[in-house]
Every structure is written in structure tokens, then in C-alpha cells.
Chain A
Amino acid sequence: MRLDIVGSLESITRVRGVRGAMIVSAEEGLVVAESSMEGIDGAAVAALTAGVVARLGRATEAAGRTAPAFVHLQAERGALLAVPAPGDLLVVAVTDAAVNVGLVRLELRRAAEHLA
């Protein structure tokens, strides 16, 4: 299981432009596993991403929609992508600005399916 998780994260970080990937416990905002997060404060990314996704979930719920299946935060110098996974987890990627978002999303969803 542990190797599966690491393997899934590595297939995300193999995508050009991805700086790191991690699995985060959605409720607690803690890092479960991470890959290639050099220069990135993993604990801070995990806590803040879980907070954002939880709030977005509540916002979409209030709007009568289901929780987001994919979260994409685009910043000036990069992006943060997150996909909910079974077991109250999130698969998260931190990327550069020039990244194939579609491909990263695909890998994030594959990793989320692996966690089922």
C-alpha cells in the first residue's frame, strides 16, 4: 500500500512542471505522504489546501451543488491542484505556471483511484 501511494505520487511528479505532490488528510490538514517537495513547506501546503478545499466544499454545498471533484488555484508563478480521494484524503500537486493541467489532473485522479 505504502509503495502504491509513493508510486502514484511519483507518476504525478514525473509530469513536467510539477514541483511536488502529496496526499493530505482532508479533515486534519496533515501530510500523509509526499514526493519531491523540495523548497516547499509541505505541512503549510497541506494545512492551507485542506482548509481551502473544505471551504469550497461548504460553498458549493450552500449553492446546492456537490463537493468539488477538482480544485485548481492558479497563481502568478504556479498552480495548486487538488482532487478528493476516498478515505477523507486529498491528492495535491504544486506546479509551475507552465504545466499541462489536464495531464496533472489525470494523474491526480489516477492516484485518487489507487487510494480506493
Chain B
Amino acid sequence: MRVIEPWVAEPLERFLAESAARVVLLTTSSGQVVAQHGFTRALDVMSASALGAAIMASTEELGRLTASGASRSLSHQGPSRGLFLSAFDLPQGRWIGLVVYDRDSSLGLVRLFFDRLVGELQAVAPAEVPAREVLAADFENELNASLRSLFGR
């Protein structure tokens, strides 16, 4: 497990132990990675975070267009693995969780423990940090620092 925000580590570790999830990715709603478990390549993480953010954005917009309300989570059951995607709010803004599980777990267990993870994150999240101007050079440095944290390179 690798985390960018240290306060995420303990609740996420508990979630992994309880849900028996194989892969977990926490990102901001814009796709910036906050924590990951189970990925081995930086490219996979970046693709998955971008796709997760895009899916959640599309789902929320679809919910708005059809007046069915913004959907906060969705799941897909494959033949051997399931995928659970959910958005939740923290003082830092909206985050997205992407969870992959197999037959050692179930959608019910993942949902149950994911709700608990969200509750724990909301309890330990530091107060909102005021936004600062993002410069191109900072962006590059932060991206590299994040990748180093997530993959130890």
C-alpha cells in the first residue's frame, strides 16, 4: 500500500484487511492519486485514476440529465472479479474510491467496509487547506513527487 496523505494510511489498511479487496485506488475527483494498493505500474494507476474520475463525472451528469439524482457509487461484476466505484466528500473536496475484489470478498462486504472507510476518513481528515496558485513547474514537481511516493522510485 502506498499513500500520499499519511492520515489515509490507517483507515485504508483497515479497509483492506476487512474487505479483502485486491486493488484499491483513492483519487481526487480530478484524478489525482491519493493512495493505491495492488497496482505495480505507474501507468496503470494513472490510467485507472483518469478512467475512474471520468466514469464518476459521466455518471453524475447522467443522473442530473435524467433527474434520477447524482449516483454516488456504481459496480460492475465480471466473471471472476468485481469493480466498485464510489465518490465521497471530504474537507479536501470530492474523492473517488475504486475497488477491485474477487471471490474472497463480495459487493456487499466492499460496500459495507467502504462506507466505514469513508466515515473514518471524514473523522481524521485535516481541515481544508486554502487553495494556492498552481504553476506549471510546481505541477511537474508534485506529479513526480506523488509517483515517487506511490511507487518508491
Contact = CB atoms under 8 A, between A and B. Distances in A.
A43 B108 contact: yes
Contacts of A50: 106, 108-109
B112 A43 contact: yes
A54 B112 CA distance: 17
Contacts of B112: 43-44, 47-48
Interface in B84-117: 103, 105-109, 111-112
A24 to B, nearest CB: 8
Contacts, number: 34
A84 interface: no
B109 A48 contact: yes
Contacts of B107: 28-30
- The B contact surface, by secondary structure, is helix
A10 B117 CA distance: 34
Interface in A93-116: none
B77 interface: yes
A24 B106 CA distance: 12
Nearest to B20: A51
B111 A51 contact: no
A92 interface: no
A47 B112 CA distance: 7
A28 B105 contact: no
B103 A54 contact: yes
Contact of B105 (A25, A44, A51): A51
Interface of A: 24-25, 27-30, 43-44, 46-48, 50-51, 54
Closest 7 CB pairs of A and B: A29-B108, A47-B108, A29-B106, A28-B107, A47-B112, A47-B109, A30-B108
30 contacts: A24-B108, A25-B108, A27-B106, A28-B77, A28-B106, A28-B107, A28-B108, A29-B106, A29-B109, A30-B107, A30-B108, A43-B108, A43-B111, A43-B112, A44-B112, A46-B108, A47-B106, A47-B108, A47-B109, A47-B111, A47-B112, A48-B109, A48-B112, A50-B106, A51-B105, A51-B106, A51-B108, A51-B109, A54-B103, A54-B106
Given A28-B106, A29-B107, 4 more contacts: A24-B108, A29-B109, A43-B111, A47-B108
